[in-house]
Amino acid sequence: MTVEIKFKHEELDKWIKDVKKAPFKGYKARKEIKEIFHNRGKEMVEEAQRIVPVRTGYLKSTINYSAVSRVGKISLMFRAEAYYAGYVEYGTKHMKARHFMTRSWNKVQPEVVKDLGNLMTKWAKER
């Protein structure tokens, strides 16, 4: 069971579609957003790897992120791919939940939103 947290922002998607009307600006906007997602994605991975329970190190080694860009949309995906990641994250009747992914996301998510807000403000001023 893989654990995956996906960040999508509806206002961001609308904003990208609007900016795409000027092709160079659309490319530049997507590039800047991906840069934010890469920087914050690295932070989430580092935090999750710092707090995840470790026995063999396999779960820790499967924690990763990706910034995915598709036509008119961009998203940040943060995941742990070990088959037992969901049991560690959410717990079982025999083991309490550790929430290493959720805690990492909750720590970094406000910064992602702030960075995106600053970028949108910057682009609005340039229009």
Q: What does each of the 127 residues of the chain score in pLDDT, given as a tens digit? A: 566 666 666 666 666 666 555 555 666 777 888 899 899 999 999 999 999 999 999 999 999 999 877 766 778 888 999 999 999 999 999 999 999 999 999 999 889 889 988 887 887 777 6
Q: Would you kindly state where each structural domain of the chain is located, as residue ranges?
A: 3-117
Beta bridge partners of 76: 7, 67
Question: What DSSP element (H or E) covers 59?
Answer: helix 58-61
Pairing status of strand 63-70 against strand 73-80: antiparallel
Give pTM, 2 decimals.
0.80
Beta bridge partners of 63: 80
CA distance 127 to 53: 48
CA distance 127 to 118: 15
